[in-house]
Structure 1
Amino acid sequence: MSWHDFHQRQRAIAAVLDSARQNPAQALDQVPAPFSDATELLRALQHKWTQQLIGRVDVALTETGDAPDGDRIQAVTEAWRTTAAANPVLRDLLDRNQADPVLRGDAAREHRMLALASGLAEPAEPDAEVVRVGQAFLQLLRATGVESSRTCLLSLR
């Protein structure tokens, strides 16, 4: 992909997010060039989310590792919430389309990353179990505070 293509894609994503601010339900009705269809656009939107989330999780874990009382669950929770707060339209658009089969694999990878980064699962565990733990973690962090999430999640283990 050339720089021109990259910038064209970024402008198209920005236009879709601007449209979603005005009318979330119809944001994906018209797919802007250079995207060929809604599937390709959804993948690009998910990629944008994932890149930002991974960056924040990495920074949070680095900072937590430097702290004597570092808490990985809290760090990952805050990283996810900060990413969501910084990208409310993107997060809403992805949530509205979460049932789309194209996003299932990406959601599972995000759940896996959250479970491993938070320390609630280990890489040697079965992938389905790691994904399940990550999914539960995400549901809890969206619904509760950090302390409640930690208590509920540790009871899963």
Structure 2
Amino acid sequence: MTWTSYRNRGEILRTVIATADARRDGLLPWDLDGVAESFGDELNLLGALQLRWHTRLAGRIERELMARPMAFEAAVVDAWRATAAELPGIRAIVDHHRAEPLDEQMAAAMDKATAKERILLAVMAGQASAHDSGAAAVGARIEEKARAGWVLAPVPDEPTGHTGLHASILGRLRAVRAAFAA
């Protein structure tokens, strides 16, 4: 992959994420210009979105644990909720394709990604090691706890007229404001 195609792919991924955040329907925005050419198939696009989710979640968990080093589970739960609020479109896509994969290959990939995420949650909450056979089940319990208190901000009805970075920042501020108002 050349530097230009790498940069284009990154820009297309940002557009995919913005579109997913606006739609929140759980469907891959395959209809966008350049998506098919950059990602090849739905599984590759889903993998890129899953990777974005996972890295953002891991980073958020680290920050939460630095701020509250003795509140392991609470920090992990809050980090999951904050990441889901920040990336609602990706969360919707991941949840949709976890429940309704397009084929067996996607089902296997989603099962593996789900297990890895749940193991991360359990390990970072201090309740399992990465090699514990029950770590994914512990992580599933933590994920359920995070989902139980997760409030998804409503999709804005009117366009802001802003684009790019400003739209992202405004969208995040509106999501935070809506979360605290609920």
* Shorter-normalised TM range: 0.7 to 0.9
1:64 matches 2:68: yes
| One of 111, 114, 126 as aligned partner of 1:107 | 114
- Which structure features the higher share of helix residues? 1
| One of 120, 124, 144 as aligned partner of 1:139 | 144
Q: Which residue of 1 aligns with 2:135?
A: 130
CA distance in 2, matches of 1:64, 1:86: 20
Q: Which residue of 1 aligns with 2:17?
A: 17
Q: Unaligned stretches of 5+ in structure 2?
A: 102-106, 151-182
Deviation sequence 1:88-133 (CA, Å, 0-9, x none): 111112111113212211111000000010012234522xx10111
Report the AA paired with residue 103 of structure 1: M
**TM-score scaled by length of structure 1:** 0.77
Change (3 A) 1:8 1:123: same
| Secondary structure class of the residue paired with 1:33 | helix
Change (3 A) 1:56 1:28: same
Report the AA paired with residue 132 of structure 1: A
| Secondary structure class of the residue paired with 1:92 | helix
Pairs within 5 Å for 1:7-46? 7-20=7-20, 21-22=22-23, 24=25, 26-30=27-31, 31-46=35-50
CA distance in 2, matches of 1:122, 1:51: 19
Following TM superposition, by how much is the alpha carbon of 1:28 offset from its aligned partner in structure 2, in angstroms?
4.0
| Secondary structure class of the residue paired with 1:121 | coil
Q: Which residue of 1 aligns with 2:166?
A: none
* Cα contact 1:53–1:80 (8 A) shared by 2: yes
Change (3 A) 1:14 1:123: closer
Q: Unaligned stretches of 5+ in structure 1?
A: 146-157
* Cα contact 1:60–1:75 (8 A) shared by 2: yes
**TM-score scaled by length of structure 2:** 0.67
Among all aligned residue pairs of Structure 1 and Structure 2, give the percentage whose two residues are the same amino acid: 29
| Secondary structure class of the residue paired with 1:24 | coil
Paired positions, count: 139
Deviation sequence 1:53-104 (CA, Å, 0-9, x none): 1111111122222xxxx21011111111111111111111211111321221
1:95 matches 2:78: no
Change (3 A) 1:2 1:60: farther
- The CA RMSD over aligned residues, in Å, is 2.1
Following TM superposition, by how much is the alpha carbon of 1:4 offset from its aligned partner in structure 2, in angstroms?
2.5
* Cα contact 2:61–2:75 (8 A) shared by 1: yes
